[in-house]
Structure 1
Amino acid sequence: MLVAQEEAAPGAGSDPPIPAAAKAHRPTLWAALALTALLGVLVILSLLIGTGSSPFARAWDYLLGDPAARADAQLRLAVVDVRLPRTIAAVMVGVSLGVAGCLLQAVTRNPLAETGLLGVNNGAAFGVVLGLTYFGVKSPFAMLLWALVGGMAASSVVLLLAATGRAAGSPLRLVLAGSALGATFHGLTSYVLLSTQSTFDTFRYWTIGSLAGIETSDTYPLLPLIAVGLLVAFACVRPLSALALGDDGARALGHRPTRVRFAVAGAVTLLAGSAVALAGPIAFLGLLAPYAARTVTGPRMAGQLVLSGLIAANVMIVADVLARVVIRPWETPVSVLLALVGGPLLIWIARSSRMSTAGAA
């Protein structure tokens, strides 16, 4: 009888078994913690390193609260007025583009979808050109507002076009409408620039994609928009997970695919429009960050969104720091560095045997 009881309760003193779901979430949790810690380190490095003449050690003393360093007006200008705003902007742009790219790849079930797919980039560029040419825009903040309005207007027209017809709300219709309207805005932008050469120099500086010259006041108006975009994105986690099963599967689970796609498109508009308004068109980041996140999370949508935002923010800060020091005393546009890295990576992804399994579905 004693033997039977011992056999019926093996390992009575051992820990209870860990559920398989908890084990599956462990890599995502550890990756999120590691990326958050890395982001904190990179933020500090971004405040310490710059194109100015302020030494690294003096900037470190300023961060530690050294009275002599805090009394140095030039050091305060470098750390607080120059490096801090662009560091905040880099985090905002990275998180926005990473989450927006993840949303687009999930809703279109296309692992190569990126944030320019809804015409946001070309719409923002057209808005900047209109402001410079016909409304006498001069300040960076005014250019930011025109870029944001142009991006949102372009995306709104895309949504209206995708909502009409027999295949309303389908991924293919959304992509085709975005591509067509993006090409239209690109042509209009080129026409206005050729007609008024005086605005070309200012527009060229914006369109190369850079965080130089950003002030703290430039980031405040965009924080609510990015916050709303992130809230909508995480509210769509369960519908997007259901949508990965196909439209019929999503409907069987009680979701409406068309509404889900329009909600996602609205979130992408807020996120990508804010990022483009701050830094100009940034290529590859919204494509590569979700791909890297899926290698850790698999098909889990919430984990993809979190890791995509963190990965993109880390990459954006690294690229911005390198942009300050690669060709001192001048500065390299951050979009150029991202393109030099993103181009070869995109080729590798396209040739990878795993690309077929890297989609959101």
Structure 2
Amino acid sequence: MPALPPLPRRLSALDGLRGVAALIVVVHHVSLLYPPIAATYMGGQTPHPGSISWWLTYSPLKLLTAGPEAVIVFFVLSGFVLTLPLLNGRPFDWMSYYPRRLVRIGLPVVCSILLAAALALLVTQNPEHARSSWVAATSVYPVWIERFVANLDPMAGDFALNNPLWSIYWEMAFSMMLPLFVGAAVLLRRWWPLLLALAVFAVFLGKDSRADGFHYLPAFFVGALAAVGLPRLRAVGTRISSWRVGWLVWLVALAASALLLISTWFVPAGHPMTSTTLVGLQPLAALGLIVCCLEWRPLGALLSLQPFQWAGRISFSLYLVHVPIIVALSYLLRGASLPVVAGLAIVSALGVAVLFYWLVERRSHGLSRWFGKLVSGTFASRYPGERPGSPAQPATRSSEAGAL
């Protein structure tokens, strides 16, 4: 078997994949300005066969607007990159991790809700004047302090001010349960085929019964299990790359993973059980994309180019700010054509995301590290014999924010 090449300290390919996924989420929400596309999610008249909206929904072009599917990629990425630092054999400071994680995600989230509330106050969001059913459902009218407070409480389930925050709830839930997920993945790693099958069944069960915990949390576990089994995955990847037709195998694996991720859109109406079954396979499809990015060198090199790295760097900020901007512009430019509004929304979201990254997210990095050290140091000084360990220095790292 060929020797495994050293794994880089920074998984640049995964940063690029995160950036691509974030851009897809933005395009997805912009596409929901178009009533026929919004109707595929919200109900109503769906796209006519052969129309542009139909091709963007029921063909492989759906990859360009596959927002919910891209979130599953985020979840698997989070499970993967948050688990890796725990597997290097060094002590890990849990007393620092929890407050650090809370500040790292919580501060940008609160600031994004403030931004959304400010936009809702500046631009009236009357659902009667909405461009599409999605815009109407995402509008906040009128804006009251009670609604703002409700959006700060994830348990309230009210994400009207900033719709993408529903996924941050599950991101934080996984972050708090990280020891359980990693412990299960390590202890049961020999039975990884059974664990993957159970994860698929759990997602199927969650989707079928509308139990969101079963629907979304298994994706994080798939990522954690992949991190635990990374040496095995890399050995298989290195073997495939050594074949003369290895590039073709990787190309097929990449295409198959991408199409499996959006395969629910190819199921004819009237086959809900088939569609639900395919939803259960989405975490495996996301894992396939991650393995291709890590092990297929041409793809990894492509995603390591500066534009993709830039998108990955601001991906969390872009994820947090884009929907309030899209909704506000859809009302502010009611007289403009949809292509004009869509183009301005994308450009504006990218510009605001850059500012948000420099003004909020980067500062949350430093503040989270300071707060984590403060909590850990205080605990160590008061209970010197019970300190859980010193911070791990991961052999391989990605963004501390995980996938988001």
What is the TM-score with the length of structure 1 in the denominator? 0.30
By relative contact order (CA 8 Å, sep 6+), the higher-ranking structure is: 2
Larger Rg: 1
